Amino acid sequence: MNVVNTLSNKADLVLNLSGDECNMTEIIYNSIFAEVINPANVGKIITKITLDNCSIKIHVEADTISHLRAFLNSILYLINTSIGIIKIGKEFKQSQTQK
- Within-domain flag for 94: no
Under 8 Å CB-to-CB from 74, ≥6 apart: which residues? 35, 39, 40
- Kindly report the CATH number assigned to the domain that includes residue 80: 3.30.310.50
Lowest-confidence region among 7-11, 38-42, 43-47, 65-69: 38-42
Nearest to 25 by CA among 52, 60, 59: 52
- Within-domain flag for 96: no
CA distance 17 to 7: 30
CA distance 96 to 49: 35
Q: Kindly indicate the confidence band of residue 2, based on its pLDDT and cuts at 50, 70 and 90.
A: very low
- Within-domain flag for 97: no
- Within-domain flag for 93: no
Question: Could you tell me the end-to-end alpha-carbon distance of the chain, in angstroms, rounded to an integer?
Answer: 64
State pTM to two decimals: 0.81
Percent of the chain with pLDDT over 90: 71
- Name the residue range of residue 13's domain: 3-87
- pLDDT at 14 exceeding the cut of 50: yes
Counting the structural domains of the chain, the total is 1
